[in-house]
Amino acid sequence: MRVLTVIGNRPQFVKAAAVSFRLREVADEVLVHTGQHYDDDLSAVFFDELELPRPEHRLELGGGSNTEQTGRMLAALDPLLAAEAPDAVLVYGDTNSTLAGALAAAQARVPVAHVEAGMRSFDRSMPEELNRVLADHAADLLLCSSEGPAQRLRDEAVQGEVVVVGDVMVDVAQLLAPRARERTAVLEACAVEPGAFLLATAHRAGNVDDPARLERLAALLTGLPDPVVLPLHPRTRARLDAAGLLGELEADLGVRLVPPLGYLDFTALLLHARAVLTDSGGVQKEAYLAGVPCLTLRDRTEWTETVDAGWNVLVDLDAAAAAAALARERPASRPPLYGDGRAGARVVQALLALRERVPA
């Protein structure tokens, strides 16, 4: 079987790391990197640390509006699909690369498998939400992290087959947590003590592209009671700089601004943080897996189970809500919401079964 995998940004490198090496044991994988994330901080370091295979095709399609970028990807993937003639296309998550891979394959009549299918924030102003919904409805195989999204997809009457495989990020977290936990040098470099600092990330368009919200974000981060480590996404850095807010954050003694970190250093900080503040999807889930309380800097989330379990609070950019959430006791229990760390193997099994169902 020949599977063409389309990835393009940081969270997709993490997710693919749970699947690629297993897939290559039983099938031919052609890895396409769209170049959606091209900085070394957001790309190369992940290939090295997660031992991802080098992409067979590296496209340079980053930048531009979402529509422009998706359009460029579609145009580039069309001839590539014709040349590689895969039996299936595998996409992950909710980015422009996900949608472009799914749509180009569906148009070329190549079966599409979507990992992390069925997630919904029900906020159509998020570009990620459009990408998720459209990729799911183009897919032949919908691979879900848990039963909730699987039921949602059945309710939406998707055409493809729905399979609960568990969450591939659990595989990676379980595999690398022991190594990450030992990496305390990054805590020393940031001058923070285990259990006595907050880790923050923010890069969603809804938070950083609107100057008024960006200002509220900066105020929230500078008003927190503990030291904050803030690995700054290039998009956020650029917006802060343009709004004249970067100097204020740099000057704040409580905030440690650092460049975007590799997976191991970031996970080391996550595992030792008192709590995490984030607008990232993946980081909300990783905080839950690590047993670290999460404050989500959004008013909605697709990872609703973590909120229901009491480990994640949607504070949006409300500083008072953040202070209240930080003062809460940790919940007594943390059920295994996202599977057992063997999702990668189930993704591969489901792909092989797809090949049997949809012969070439």
Question: Which of 3, 4, 14, 104: binder of ligand UDP (CB under 6 A)?
Answer: 14
- Within residues 210-249, the interface with ligand UDP by CB under 6 A covers 231
CB of 284 to ligand UDP, least distance (A): 8
Q: Does 283 bind ligand UDP (CB under 6 A)?
A: yes
Q: Does 186 bind ligand UDP (CB under 6 A)?
A: no
Distance CA 16, CA 46 (A): 11
Among residues 37, 114, 203, 233, the one annotated as catalytic is: 203
Q: Please, which residue, 111 or 260, has the CB nearer to ligand UDP?
A: 260
CB of 235 to ligand UDP, least distance (A): 10
Q: Does 101 bind ligand UDP (CB under 6 A)?
A: no
Residues near 160 by beta carbon (within 8 Å), at least 6 away in sequence: 112, 114, 136, 139, 140, 141, 142
Q: Which range of residues in 190-198, 279-287, 314-322, 323-331 is near ligand UDP by CB under 6 A?
A: 279-287
Q: Which range of residues in 21-29, 107-115, 261-269, 309-317 is near ligand UDP by CB under 6 A?
A: 261-269
Q: Which value, to the nearest 10 degrees, does the dihedral of the CA atoms of residues 95, 100, 102, 107 take?
A: 160
Q: Please, which residue, 148 or 260, has the CB nearer to ligand UDP?
A: 260
Tell me the longest C-alpha to C-alpha distance in the chain: 61
Q: Please, which residue, 110 or 337, has the CB nearer to ligand UDP?
A: 337
- Within residues 22-61, the interface with ligand UDP by CB under 6 A covers none
Q: Please, which residue, 266 or 288, has the CB nearer to ligand UDP?
A: 266
- Within residues 309-328, the interface with ligand UDP by CB under 6 A covers none
Strand (E) or helix (H) holding 282: helix 281-290
Residues near 2 by beta carbon (within 8 Å), at least 6 away in sequence: 27, 28, 29, 30, 84, 85, 86, 87, 88
Q: Does 280 bind ligand UDP (CB under 6 A)?
A: yes
Strand (E) or helix (H) holding 135: helix 127-138
Q: Does 339 bind ligand UDP (CB under 6 A)?
A: no
Q: Please, which residue, 18 or 261, has the CB nearer to ligand UDP?
A: 261
Is residue 203 among the annotated active site residues?
Answer: yes
Distance CA 5, CA 19 (A): 10
CB of 347 to ligand UDP, least distance (A): 17
Question: Which of 4, 10, 104, 114: binder of ligand UDP (CB under 6 A)?
Answer: 10
Question: Which of 201, 296, 306, 312: binder of ligand UDP (CB under 6 A)?
Answer: 201
Q: Are strands 88-92 and 57-58 parallel, antiparallel or unpaired?
A: unpaired
Q: Does 160 bind ligand UDP (CB under 6 A)?
A: no
Question: Which of 86, 111, 282, 341: binder of ligand UDP (CB under 6 A)?
Answer: 282
CB 207 within 8 A of CB 296: no
Q: Residue 346, SS3?
A: helix
CB of 34 to ligand UDP, least distance (A): 15
* Selection from 272, 260, 257 nearest residue 180 by Cα: 272
CB 12 within 8 A of CB 99: no
Angle between helices 10-17 and 281-290 (to 10 degrees): 50
Q: Does 266 bind ligand UDP (CB under 6 A)?
A: yes
CB 208 within 8 A of CB 306: no
Q: Please, which residue, 39 or 78, has the CB nearer to ligand UDP?
A: 39
The 8-class DSSP code of residue 55 comes to P
* Selection from 316, 339, 353 nearest residue 145 by Cα: 339
Q: Does 261 bind ligand UDP (CB under 6 A)?
A: yes
Distance CA 343, CA 292 (A): 22
Q: Which residues make up the interface to ligand UDP (CB under 6 A)?
A: 10-11, 14, 201, 231, 260-263, 266-267, 280-283, 286
Hey, which residues are catalytic here?
Answer: 203
